[in-house]
Amino acid sequence: MFEEFVALDLETTGLDPERDAIVELAAVHFRQGEVVAKYSRLVNPGFPLPLRIQKLTGLTDEELQGAPEFAVLWPELQEFIADLPLVGHNLSFDLAFLAKAAGWQPLGPVFDTRRLCRIFYPTLTGYSLSQLARHFSLPSEGEHRAEPDALRSGMLFLKVKERAARMKAGVLQLMVSSLPAGDPVHLFLEAILAEKKHEFGAYSQLFAFERQDSAGEFLGEEELIDEDGGPNRGYLNEEEVVAMFTAGGKLGRELPGFEEREGQKEMAREVCRAFNEDGILLIEAGTGSGKSLAYLVPSLLWAMNSGEKVVLSTHTISLQEQIRAKDLPLLQKIWPHLRSAVIKGRANYLCLDRWFQTWDARQEGTAFSDFYLRLLVWLTETLTGDRNELSLNQQEEEEWYQLCCESSSCRGQNCFYRSSCFWLQALRRARDAHLIIVNHSLLVADLKTESAVLPAYERLVVDEAHHLEEEAMSGLGLEVGDKHFRRVFRLLLREEGRNGPGPRGILRLKLRNFAYNSLVPEVEATLVKIEEEASMLKAAWEQFVKIIGFFLTPAGEEVGACCRRLDEYLACLLPEERQSLENAAANLTSRLGRLRGELNRFLGQLALLDPHDDYLADSKAEWKAVATLVGQIEEDWQKIWTRAEADQVYWLEWDGTQLILRSAPLKVGEILRAKLFEQVRTVILTSATLTVNGSCSYFRERLGLDGIAGERVRERTVAPPFAYDSQALMCVVRDLPLPGEEDFSRAVADFIVRLLEVTGGSTMVLFTSHQMLREVYWRVQRELEEMDVLLLGQGIDGSRSRLLEEFKQVRRAVLFGASTFWEGVDLPGELLRCLVLVKIPFASPEIPVVSARLEEMAQQEKSGFWQFTLPQAVIKFKQGFGRLIRTREDRGVVVVLDRRLLEKKYGRAIFGSLPLRSHFRGSRDEVLKKIAEWLEGKTFPLLQKVIK
């Protein structure tokens, strides 16, 4: 079972074997789980080592200059490896460099620990070597050095072997059957199975859903009682609730390191009042205020005492996970009978019927992708079937859609797996829960479907509420694009044999049982016609996309290469251009209708072929789902292209290869007020950023709350728990060019270089556009390298998660981020000492939704700038500002490079919205001097009072 192997790792000057070179070689020989020999050498690449590699590895040019060249060392390494199995993490990368440098291919089998970990540990959040090492508590010393990384790779291989050896033989046999004989994972599994021959009954109780009593697991029978065991009641004693948040209260006794916070007690009191008075509470509570417990405790007490469910909606998965995995287990220690449930849209749950139908219908010799192997392993452990337990890449996301509990293909009462259905289990848990946790998207979907998604509720808490409006616009709007058409083409045109035969292949296999039925030739002829129509639809869509792309002028801003309102785009075309596009659109409409018609005819034929809805039930459901998908695309496409509704904004997004057409309602507030706020008795809306200059008026107006009469809506602000005036220095540079002036980006670049001479790193720079981020990046790159400062740029050096991981590892580093870095980034302590806000984050009027809103406000004789653009910018500015201080021990500097903050009247609104009472304003030289004094712990008497 591969008891002897060699783990290999290389360090290189970059990612391209054609241009980059090897700088370090290492191999570790394992036998019987023990290290028996090591080989490690530095390699002279023949040119200077890039700064990023120096920072990640700790290697220097001086160390490498005296090292041998690769050609000298290669025979030694080749002899060390010999013909033993080779193990490595993302091993194809290392082998590509060895192939380029020595023309070498391994003699023995090759095992990639990244691939193996993705298959056998499908629920991990990341699969980089450092992430896996932390998860398995492997030695962390020497990250990004060849010998320690090779050692970790070998240890990971041993972990995977242990994991596979614990799995049931039946699961391993299913995996083997889905892989070609020469696949390394096939060899790996065969070796594991060779030692499990003693197992009998290999195919019984393989999966977690088979080993649970669903009714006992999910349906509790406990009577709802209050803390004193009295009768159910719907009233909260404010003083008793607040007492829980004192040092001697129940939370203080259960929570290690509990700190009594006045803001938390104040918020809990306000939440109690909103429940008792059937009110709507808007409450701003920033980082460190303990707001989640402040609303959870009253909400849960209300639910347990009254029998009414409380729905909690969040925007991010991370907050959901914090509440589910951290806050609720703590509260369950106080109330053991507390029940909660997380519920998501149907597409988030695996459909067991579709899964087993696809698996069982695969043809002999069919090789499934690793995605199906990951799901098979996952099914041995998941009790929820929730896709968020998995880390899916883009391709896997598309494949997931074919296996999820999407409603149109559901067989309902006729489903063999109904008692184990993950979606129904989620509904059962929600039915029995005191607290139902959802996301904003599902909350909006429930409104859109007239409460067809969630159980009935009258009490609602919305955290991260500043995202509710944008989620409502997205969820209540329409979208048609490449991903929707790809789903159709993948279902109807994909090659047979890849990940199973698909709907066509499955049906053709089943039609063999109807060989003597006179309807079969007609069914087969219609199936061929459907394939033809799908091919012509594909050609029509590709032609439409080609024409759109040809006529578009890329804008190169935040929302993709180009984002244009549909009316404006069409108006800019010449008559002959518009006619060409209209012809392509008409052809697309026609092809959608013809395909939908053929699918509906086909469904009728299947019903006649098997009138008792028995043997072909699975195929009927599958083809019904395809027909429903095509029909929905056709309906949404026609609404968007014809701009059917006047109170919607319609636009297109184009990134050079993919096209999306969208629509969104302009009057989201009216919809939310009518369908949500006037239907629910209590609503708590909370976030760290709700107010502008101390008022929630902007937020109230955007959500339609200003139309609710009386005193039902109340606003409150919880004072921040941090001493911002002693923890943070805010500086505004007043002698830089104005944003938009020709030399602004050059001046910003020069200042950032000088700033990093002072801070030495631990600095994040937030931009409002990717274009300017790139301009400044390339201006400063060489100088920062000479200063030994690692520069990390969003969209240049890797994904958001990868950049944050590298930034945390390297002290002398600066991170350039755009929109997604303005919130949701947590870098406490010394990880972030300086934050730079390049510009006030005004939304571009070129963004379709923004321009449509401004037009609407102009028609109403309202100031679009003061009543929409500025408040939106203030809220985002506050989000960016909030990245700096995350704990009571944090200390750092915020630098603003947009002097409009000082010179324009609206600067008062921004200053008045921040938790600081003072700031420093000065020239570039004065600001840099003040920052140096601050970071050295000196006083700063020149601070200006904030203009209120």
Instruction: Supply the residues annotated as catalytic.
Output: 144
> CB-hemisphere CA count at 13 Å for 419?
9
Other beta carbons less than 10 A from residue 821's beta carbon: 21
The pair of three-digit structure tokens given for residue 820, joined into one six-digit string: 């997604």
Q: Is 44 left (phi over 0), alpha (psi -120 to 50) or beta?
A: beta
Three-state DSSP state, 429: helix
Hey, what's the torsion of the CAs at 773, 776, 779, 783, to 10 degrees?
Answer: -100
- Dist CA 59 CA 51 (whole Å): 10
User: Residue 175: which of 161, 160, 185, 163 has the closest Cα?
Assistant: 185
Pairing of strands 648-654, 659-665: antiparallel
- In sequence order, the β-bridge partners of residue 28 are 7, 38
Other beta carbons less than 10 A from residue 639's beta carbon: 17
- Dist CA 245 CA 260 (whole Å): 7
In the numeric block, the tokens 């499908």 are attached to 122
User: Residue 913: which of 697, 705, 740, 712 has the closest Cα?
Assistant: 697
Q: What is the total residue count of the chain?
A: 948
In the numeric block, the tokens 């510009």 are attached to 839
Three-state DSSP state, 349: strand
Three-state DSSP state, 642: coil
Hey, what's the torsion of the CAs at 514, 520, 523, 528, to 10 degrees?
Answer: 100
Cβ neighbors of 869 (< 8 A, separation 6 or more) are 842, 843, 845, 850, 854
The pair of three-digit structure tokens given for residue 183, joined into one six-digit string: 């696949």
DSSP conformational letter for 495: P
The pair of three-digit structure tokens given for residue 440, joined into one six-digit string: 């904003």
Other beta carbons less than 10 A from residue 472's beta carbon: 27
User: Residue 279: which of 673, 641, 681 has the closest Cα?
Assistant: 681
DSSP conformational letter for 901: H
Sequence-ordered alpha helix ranges (H) in 33-112: 51-57, 61-65, 70-81, 91-102
- Dist CA 411 CA 425 (whole Å): 16
Helices vs. strands in the chain: H and E counts, helices first: 40, 24
- Dist CA 68 CA 64 (whole Å): 8
- Dist CA 353 CA 417 (whole Å): 6
Containing H/E element for 38? strand 34-42
User: Residue 211: which of 176, 171, 177 has the closest Cα?
Assistant: 171
- Dist CA 33 CA 4 (whole Å): 8
Containing H/E element for 215? helix 214-218
User: Residue 390: which of 406, 404, 401, 374 has the closest Cα?
Assistant: 374
Task: Identify residue 689 by its one-letter amino acid code.
Answer: T
Angle at 462 between CA 275 and CA 680, to 5 degrees: 50
- Dist CA 563 CA 659 (whole Å): 10
- In sequence order, the β-bridge partners of residue 565 are 651
Other beta carbons less than 10 A from residue 311's beta carbon: 26
Query: What b/e string do you get for 20-34 counting C-beta neighbours within 10 Å, with b at 16 or more?
Result: bbbbbbbbbbbeeee
* Cα distances (angstroms) measured from residue 200 to each of 177, 192, 196, 247: 18, 15, 9, 57
